[in-house]
Structure 1
Amino acid sequence: MFNLARSFEKFMKSVEQSSAKRSPTYTAWLLMVVYTLAHTDRQIVSILAEPIKQELGLSDSQVGVLIGLSFVVVYTALSVPIARLSERINRVWLLAACLSVWSIFTALGSLAQNFTHLFLARVGVGVGEAGTNPASYSLIADVASRKDRAKLLSIFNLGLPIGSFLGLAAGGVVGSVFGWRQAFLLVGMPGVIVAIFLVLSLRDPRHDQSVGLIQKEAKKKTISFNEDFLEVLSKRSYLLMLGGMASIIFLNYGKVSFYGSFFLRNHLDGLVEVSGLIQDHFGFSVKPLAILGLIIGSLTGIFGAFGTVLGGWLGDRFGGADPRGYLIVPIFGCLLQFPFLIAALFVPSFLHSVALFAVPAFLTATYLSPIIAAMVGVVRPTLRATATAISTTVAILIGFGCGPAFTGMLSDVYTSQFGDSGQGVRFALMTSSLSVISAAGFFALARLHIRKDFEG
């Protein structure tokens, strides 16, 4: 027994030594895997909204609550406290714990028998995911140089489109073949395994002397949360970027949450036609829900991934010397996508609608890495987790919490007016698309103030 304990201790020391040598790029890629799982679990309800709605007897408003508010209830309450905790304890262990919690609750969603059961399961997912972004962003910011920060953040942010693709595609395929409950189990199980690998493979850089400067600053004085909170909010550019971020997330989650309903209600004939073409050419049948999951997943995953990488590269290129450059890509990305959003909602052809939606999927993804790089640059290093937690909390509360619920309620209202649920969801998505214009305005105003706020 004694030899076994010594062997285990020796093994853990060797793991710690090897993990301490990991490059910033490795850190970004591994945290990207964690972020991918977060968005896979987060998006699974969206593509399965229709079968869940039918089996549990839900309204569009209740579906919107399940996708948004159920998650946001605890996410917004716990994000800042967990971020403050991450500034004091090992962030790698914290991330592993969060990953395990949300994965388990995703799997538990498969047991839901009514709206309340599924609501509580999604609340549990929110508990786990509340600590992901603040700890991850601060980890990457600590190990990245200024000139590479947006690029490394873009690697991490690839988890959003890749996770969305996996959640939508796997959810659509597995849901159409085995049912929505089995899809919940499939996306929930891998998280615990990745959590173990995370602990064994990565080390919090606060334990390295190379970032001792951050630790020294943290120990100089004890500052209350109120003082830190007010310091972050004193940055006018930060507040304006936060407004733009919330506006985009409001649109994105409202849009993605009802993509499936929009296509199934307005373009079911097109989906059936594609299914028939696959049957004729390849000799096997694919249900419309599976096709829809693959298509929407590809829109958010493939085009979103390209947009994320390009946004990070352009962010470093434009913002490396002058922080105002970080805002160029988000401003133009927001303005250029609006006409494509409107056209995609009203063209009669299914394939034309899909093609038009691909453009906003690409352009929307370009904003995130430059904005996060700018946000962590306008605060002190020891406040990066707090700043990202505040921004994530507010953006998620307004965007993820209100976006799907607002779009769902609008859909119910428009449906009662038009007497057609297809028209209802179409005009609901059209109305919510206006938020992308307000996002461009917020980013343009932030560009006027960021230079004097920037700390590096």
Structure 2
Amino acid sequence: MRSFAEKFHHLGKWLPLSVIVIVTIIASVNKQLIGLIAQPVKVEFGLSDTQLGGMFSIVGVVVAIISPLLGQMADRIDRHKFLLGSILIWSVATASYGVAAGYLTLVISVVVIASAETSLGPISNSIIADRYRQGTRINANLVYFAAGGLTTGVGSFLGGVLLHQSADNLTSITSFWQGASDWRVAMVVTGLFGIPLALLTLVLGKDRHQANRSKSLTDLSDLKAYWQDHWKTLISFNVSNAGFFIAASATMGWVPIYLVRHFGISPAELGMRMGLVIGLADLLGVLFGFVAIKKFYHFLGPIAPRYIFQFSLCGVALLYIPLLAAETVWVVLIIFGVQNFLATFGTASFNNMLQDMSSPGVRGKIFGINMLIVSLVGIPGPLVVGALSDYFGQEPQSLLWAIFIVSVPMLLLSALLYGLTNKIYLQTIKAIKILEQD
């Protein structure tokens, strides 16, 4: 029987992952709130759909610029301190969104929020890749991805609850805060969440594992050397994913706005309904996704998750057709939920694929590059949908058609490119495994 100290040591190994999971879930609330309150923000500030979409596209530009820097920082400085600083920054920015006086303040606040939250990607994945090995790392990735999969649902639900509570207590709040509204109060309260969240990171102490990196891995730490050997894989992987992320940015940002605009549902009620539907869909997507990967990996090898992703891309694209004909909020939410299930099902091993195709010393940089590409390809989606919506007219159905026109071709393009680039991806995985065994 293991001693108490041995048991405590075993549990302590999972402390970094536990903190990462909590931070990931709580950080999702402000992101989902911004989407839920987009329609009342548009009305209060008199914004056009093009301005609204442009705000999110500007975020993509800034995040794209700083993503490589964030990846570099995740490989060079104490990741635990980096995480603490990022939390404090996005918390202040979230509260500033709630007291915004104009469009410029909104844009600056959203840019800072997104920039700080983007650091979670390279920090979290680098910590997991360093702290957990082989089968343990697969389990750690499963837990981390499950947390990420729950962020939309949990964030939407908690955002809806916050909006509901803010509306109920608005009378007493306006007695000392003139001009307060439910969405402003909810954003300020969400910003305050960052204080205990930042304190939570202090239990991790110094990132000693990063500081004590083995010198034998020096030859694996050179991004230039990695690029020379595997540039085709890096480019093809990110280009293949581009269509998916364009569709995701166009759909996730605008469908909540469509629901509020078309059906007149309040953002608070929408958040709670969407949180339940999307949360369940994403949870099932994680579970079934990992079951499918383990099942098909036995027969197909490391190519299995890519085939699964191709299948899910085609399924998501086909579901836009019944979405156009949906006549009630619940029908839209159910179809939207099935789309999220398929997307989560398909991307369940996405982080693992990136970790497998990158050597230990450059993983933070590779994730930074990936975020750069994701941010860049996410720029046109919201802006093009907004511009098309303004062009077609302000009817809610025009907005839905704009989402369809942008998303469906991009999803099918990603599915095609994945099939064309499987061979070079497998070649890189084989080469990396040989290096790690030497």
User: Which TM class, normalised by the smaller chain length?
Assistant: 0.7 to 0.9
SS at match of 2:162: helix
User: What is aligned with 1:424?
Assistant: 398
User: 1:191 pairs with 177, 191, 194, which one?
Assistant: 194
How many residue pairs match? The answer is 409
User: What is aligned with 1:251?
Assistant: 247
What is the CA deviation profile of residues 315-368 of structure 1, one whole-angstrom value per residue up to 9, with x for unaligned ones?
Answer: 355448832122122111111222222212222233322222221110111233
User: 1:123 pairs with 108, 111, 114, which one?
Assistant: 111
List aligned pairs for 1:243-322, cutoff 5 A: 243-268=239-264, 271=265, 288-319=266-297, 322=301
Q: Does 1:31 align with 2:5?
A: no
Tell me the distance in 2 between the aligned counterparts of 1:21 and 1:372: 24
Structure 1 residue 398, shift from structure 2 partner: 1.0
User: What is aligned with 1:56?
Assistant: 45
Tell me the distance in 2 between the aligned counterparts of 1:20 and 1:101: 32
Structure 1 residue 184, shift from structure 2 partner: 0.7
List aligned pairs for 1:38-437, cutoff 5 A: 38-66=27-55, 68-175=56-163, 177=167, 178=170, 179-201=182-204, 204=207, 206=209, 214-219=213-218, 223=222, 227=224, 230-231=227-228, 234-268=230-264, 271=265, 288-319=266-297, 322-399=301-378, 401-415=379-393, 420-434=394-408, 435-437=410-412
SS at match of 1:113: coil
Task: Tell me the amino acid that sits aligned with residue 325 of structure 2.
Answer: F
Tell me the distance in 2 between the aligned counterparts of 1:102 and 1:40: 12
Structure 1 residue 313, shift from structure 2 partner: 4.3
Task: Tell me the amino acid that sits aligned with residue 436 of structure 1.
Answer: L
What is the CA deviation profile of residues 400-431 of structure 1, one whole-angstrom value per residue up to 9, with x for unaligned ones?
Answer: x322222212211222xxxx421221101111
Asked if 2 retains the 8 angstrom alpha-carbon contact of 1:262 and 1:425, the reply is yes
Task: Tell me the amino acid that sits aligned with residue 342 of structure 1.
Answer: I
Structure 1 residue 250, shift from structure 2 partner: 1.7
Asked if 2 retains the 8 angstrom alpha-carbon contact of 1:235 and 1:378, the reply is no
CA spacing shift, 1:53–1:293, aligned 2, 3 Å: same
CA spacing shift, 1:138–1:316, aligned 2, 3 Å: farther
CA spacing shift, 1:361–1:142, aligned 2, 3 Å: same
Asked if 2 retains the 8 angstrom alpha-carbon contact of 1:110 and 1:181, the reply is yes
CA spacing shift, 1:46–1:207, aligned 2, 3 Å: closer
Structure 1 residue 190, shift from structure 2 partner: 1.4
CA spacing shift, 1:351–1:21, aligned 2, 3 Å: closer
List aligned pairs for 1:444-455, cutoff 5 A: 444-454=419-429, 455=432
Tell me the distance in 1 between the aligned counterparts of 2:85 and 2:11: 21
SS at match of 2:214: helix
Tell me the distance in 2 between the aligned counterparts of 1:345 and 1:403: 18
CA spacing shift, 1:48–1:243, aligned 2, 3 Å: same
Tell me the distance in 2 between the aligned counterparts of 1:125 and 1:19: 36
Asked if 2 retains the 8 angstrom alpha-carbon contact of 1:44 and 1:184, the reply is yes
User: What is aligned with 1:10?
Assistant: none
Structure 1 residue 113, shift from structure 2 partner: 0.9
Tell me the distance in 2 between the aligned counterparts of 1:216 and 1:136: 22
Tell me the distance in 2 between the aligned counterparts of 1:87 and 1:207: 8
CA spacing shift, 1:450–1:24, aligned 2, 3 Å: farther
Give the CA RMSD over aligned residues: 2.7
Tell me the distance in 2 between the aligned counterparts of 1:371 and 1:346: 32
Asked if 2 retains the 8 angstrom alpha-carbon contact of 1:323 and 1:450, the reply is no
Task: Tell me the amino acid that sits aligned with residue 186 of structure 2.
Answer: A
Tell me the distance in 2 between the aligned counterparts of 1:451 and 1:218: 22
Tell me the distance in 1 between the aligned counterparts of 2:127 and 2:273: 34
TM-score, L = length of structure 1: 0.81
Structure 1 residue 121, shift from structure 2 partner: 0.9
Tell me the distance in 2 between the aligned counterparts of 1:195 and 1:289: 28
Task: Tell me the amino acid that sits aligned with residue 175 of structure 1.
Answer: L
Which deviates further from its counterpart, 380-389 or 325-334? 325-334
What is the CA deviation profile of residues 66-125 of structure 1, one whole-angstrom value per residue up to 9, with x for unaligned ones?
Answer: 3x2243233222221121122122111111111111111111111101100111111211
Percent sequence identity is 20
CA spacing shift, 1:220–1:231, aligned 2, 3 Å: closer
Tell me the distance in 2 between the aligned counterparts of 1:98 and 1:80: 16
Tell me the distance in 1 between the aligned counterparts of 2:31 and 2:163: 15
Structure 1 residue 157, shift from structure 2 partner: 2.5
Asked if 1 retains the 8 angstrom alpha-carbon contact of 2:286 and 2:348, the reply is yes
TM-score, L = length of structure 2: 0.85
CA spacing shift, 1:21–1:72, aligned 2, 3 Å: farther
Tell me the distance in 1 between the aligned counterparts of 2:297 and 2:15: 23
What is the CA deviation profile of residues 189-208 of structure 1, one whole-angstrom value per residue up to 9, with x for unaligned ones?
Answer: 11232122112136536258
User: What is aligned with 2:436?
Assistant: none
Structure 1 residue 378, shift from structure 2 partner: 1.3
Tell me the distance in 1 between the aligned counterparts of 2:399 and 2:381: 13
SS at match of 1:366: helix
Tell me the distance in 2 between the aligned counterparts of 1:204 and 1:309: 31
